[in-house]
Every structure is written in structure tokens, then in C-alpha cells.
Amino acid sequence: TITNHMPTEELQALDAAHHMHPFTANGELAQKGARVITRADGVTLTDSEGNQILDAMAGLWCVNIGYGRDELADVAARQMRELPYYNTFFQTTHRPAIELAQKIAQLAPGDLNNVFFAGSGSEANDTNIRMVRHYWALKGKPSKSIIISRKNAYHGSSVGSGSLGGMSAMHEQGGLPIPDVHHINQPNWWAEGGDMSPEDFGIARAQELEQAILELGEDRVAAFIAEPVQGAGGVIVAPDSYWPEVQKICDKYEILLIADEVICGFGRTGEWFGSQKLDIRPDIMTIAKGLSSGYAPIGGSVVSDEVASVIAQSEFNHGYTYSGHPVAAAVALENLRILEEENILGHVRDVAAPYLKEKWESLVAHPLVGEAKIVGMMGSIALTPHKESRAAFAAETGTVGYICRERCFANNLVMRHVGDRMIISPPLILKPEEIDMLMDRALTSLDECYAQ
Ligand code: PLP
């Protein structure tokens, strides 16, 4: 048996022999050996060498309540004994799925009172593609099938959700995108704003949505999908002018607005949903990750009464074996109970986010850092060789972000890089002294990167 007591090199050799890692050059990794994480508690990971690492990414943006909460393990064990599995197809249901759907409906804004469960964010976005097209067909407008998304967006890795995503490196592999998905530019002022003010640029990028609708034909566009704050694209915070203009355009042309809340949801921005933070009125929200704080795989689409009532007219031929999985649903409910009863969003709003914002934004004083952006508990810095011109590093410099991320890891800090942007998305329970530790390690890593 493989145990954590096996020497690291042996674990790495077995990993290299049999385990194909996602988003990884596996041949290169086999030479290096993967880092083996053995335990986690609070905001801290332990690796097989005994290093204590501050996880400023909350895993993959998901461990919102932090690691090591026994309550979730207890709930999972209880649920496994009582009803480990049953499906929600064919006119059956069970208590965890019912209670979780009710709880999500209570937390969600507006009349988003209806939940279609999935096992992940990717599956939920696949649901959204089919649901919005089916909705328009049922409304007598089957030509409305195009979904507009944004370049550099990440909405998942399935064929459908990967097509919604706007990452060219993904589209180059495996025949993406599917037909009738159209990508417009993202509101990344730092990299693409040129001489425009951020506010003018925000309006211009929002108006690209209107131009696309007019070019493609109002009668052919079903929906627009975007994250309130683009996460895996590099924590791109849109200028304040952007979202009000996008909302206006969606309303004007009756385009369904899908807010992908997989990262922004469940407290990451300081509100339950990023849409509430940015005053967006979506027709559908995609949820996953923080719904269970990553303790169990679960996602879903949260749908307005109007869309749900149309879909309810006939059988929607769509669903997953694990839609509303009872153990995952019970774990998610317990996670939401902890978020609520421990007032973790209050901690974000009153303590963690203001303190982190002050420290994070001070990083612009560092010679490598151009812009520093943060919303709630998701932040980014742009690394640059020349702040005034907002220049990017030359390709031959290598990916400076990658070098910086490796320095962070050597200093026991997990940050992520997207090109030359460094990003954080720590557990929401982060205490001020842990923020100090995060900042110390980040600054040391930036200094080392600069010296290199
Ligand atoms: N949507 C967004 C915004 C995401 O960040 C992700 C994952 O990172 C997904 C969808 C896909 O979720 P999953 O990995 O659970 O399929």
C-alpha cells in the first residue's frame, strides 16, 4: 500500500509512472518529481518533507472555510451510512438535495430560486449551454443559439465549458470550440488599455458585446457568460464602468446573462456572490468550488424563475449520475452552515479583506510590480520591466511569473502565476497575522525574483 510514510522519491516515482496530471507537462514533471502534500489544517499545507506551506490559493480557489473542519467529515460519514447514494432522475429525490437547493435559493440574489445540480463547474456550464439554447427553442426562438463569452476566460475543461472558455492554448488542443460560441475581448486595462482611461476602456470593452450582438444578429444570440471578476485569466478586475454597461446591453437585447460564480461565489468577494458585490443581475449563475469549500465535488446552475418555468414545460434531457449527490450535498450544507454561523463573510468584510487590501496594494512600490488589484479575497499583481509604459516582459526573459511562483514555493507560500501576473485567493478565514506572513513571504519572493 502507498502510505504517507513512504519516502518522497518513491511516491514521486510511482506518481510519474502512473498519474497523468491536469494542466501539466507530465514528461517535465516526471524529471522534477511532484510535490507531495500530505495534510492540511486551517490555511496551512504540510508536504511529505515536513514543510509548512501557507496556501494563498485555497487549493484551486475553493477551500473557503479552510482545511481540517471535522464537522464536514462527520456529516459525510453520517450521510454515507444513512443514504450514500441515490439519484435525482425519474421523479425521485432525497433530503440533502432538497435542503441544499432551498438553502442556495435563499442565499442567491433576485428570483434565482431553482438549482440544477452537477458534479463540477465544468458540468454546470455544460448544463448552461444546453439550458439556454433549449429555453429559447421552447420560447419559439430556436435560432438563438450563440453564446458570447470572453477571451482568456476559464469556464471549465469539458468540451462545452472549454469552448465557452477563451483560452487559445485550450482551443488549440482537441478540436475546441464547439459551434456557436463567440469570444469578445476582456476588460484588462493594464495589458490592453493603451492610452485610454480605465473608465473609457471599461465602456469600450462592454460595447464590444453590443457590437457582437449586432454583427451576429440579435435573433441568434442566446446568452452572454462571464465571471464577475475573471479569476484564472489572472484576477482581472474590470473598471467600474464595465458591468453597468454590460447589464444595460443584456437588458436591451434580451440576452440571458450567465454569471460564472464558480470562483466569486460563497464569500470570495465579501458577499455571497460576486454578482451582488458588483450589482449584476444574472439570469443564471454557475456555482461549484466554495459551495462545499472543496470538501466534496459538487456544482450547479442557479436559475431564475422565468427560465426555470419555461424549462419545466417538458422533459429536459440532461443530467448527471451525481446531480445532487447526497454526500456532496450534505457536505455543502454543512459548509454553508459554518460560513453563516461563524459569520465568515463578516470576517472577510470587516477584518481580512480591508487589511489584505491595504497590504496588497502597497506592493505597487516594489520595482517589479505594475498594478496591484484586489476584490475581497482575490487579488493580483502585474509584473513588469517598466511601470510607466505598462510593458510586458520580453518572451526570452522566460516567464517571470513562473520564476516568481517557484520562489514563493521555496519560501513556503503557494501563489499562482498566469503569465506575468501573480495571483492569490486564500481561505476566507485568513487572520491578520497570517496576512502578515503571506505578505512577508511574497515580498521575499519578489525580491529574489528581482535579483535573479
Ligand atoms: N468556471 C470557473 C470560473 C472556474 O474557475 C472553474 C475552475 O477553475 C470552472 C468553471 C470549472 O470548474 P470545475 O473545475 O469544477 O469543473
Q: State whether the beta carbon of 338 lies less than 6 angstroms from ligand 1.
A: no
Ligand 1 atom nearest to CA at 156? 11
Give me the DSSP letters along 124-161.
Answer: HHHHHHHHHHHHHHHTT-TT--EEEEETT----SSHHH
Task: Mark whether 337 and 363 lie in a shared domain.
Answer: no
The answer to whether residues 425 and 276 belong to one domain is no
Q: 139 and 124 in one domain? A: yes
Residue 400 sits in a domain of what CATH number? 3.90.1150.10
Give the CATH number, domain containing residue 333: 3.40.640.10
Reading the chain (452 residues) residue by residue, the pLDDT tens digits are 666 579 999 999 999 999 999 999 999 999 999 999 999 999 999 999 999 999 999 999 999 999 999 999 999 999 999 999 999 999 999 999 999 999 999 999 999 999 999 999 999 999 999 999 999 999 999 999 999 999 999 999 999 999 999 999 999 999 999 999 999 999 999 999 999 999 999 999 999 999 999 999 999 999 999 999 999 999 999 999 999 999 999 999 999 999 999 999 999 999 999 999 999 999 999 999 999 999 999 999 999 999 999 999 999 999 999 999 999 999 999 999 999 999 999 999 999 999 999 999 999 999 999 999 999 999 999 999 999 999 988 877 768 999 999 999 999 999 999 999 999 999 999 999 999 999 999 999 999 999 98
335 & 350 share domain: no
5 located within any domain: no
Q: CA-CA distance, 138 to 313, in Å (whole number)?
A: 8
Atom 2 (ligand 1): residue with closest C-alpha?
155
Domain assignment present for 117:
yes
Q: Is 227 in the pocket of ligand 1 (CB under 6 A)?
A: yes
Q: What percent of the chain shows pLDDT beyond 90? A: 96
Task: Mark which of 278, 307, 341 sits at the end of a domain.
Answer: 341
- Are 299 and 386 part of one and the same domain? no
| Residue 419 placed within a domain | yes
User: Are 293 and 441 members of one domain?
Assistant: no
Q: Which atom of ligand 1 is nearest to the CA of 264?
A: 3
Same domain? For 414 and 358 the reply is: yes
261 plus 350 within the same structural domain = no
Q: Is residue 17 part of a domain?
A: no
Q: What is the pLDDT of residues 137-161, one digit of tens each?
A: 999 999 999 999 999 999 999 999 9
Closest ligand 1 atom, CA of 125? Answer: 10
Residues 272 and 297 in one domain: yes
Q: Are residues 194 and 209 in the same domain?
A: yes
Residue closest via CA to ligand 1's atom 7 equals 156
- Taking the centre of ligand 1 as the mean of its atom positions, its distance from the CA of residue 200, in whole angstroms, is 30
Residues 355 and 336 in one domain: no
Domain span including residue 265:
71-341
Count structural domains, the chain: 2
Answer with the one of 313, 341, 369 that is the final residue of a domain.
341
Closest residue to atom 1 of ligand 1, CA basis: 155
In 200-298, DSSP assigns E strands to: 221-226, 256-260, 284-287
From 283, 308, 341, the end of a domain falls on 341
Q: Are residues 79 and 54 in the same domain?
A: no
Mean pLDDT of the chain: 97
Q: pTM here? A: 0.97
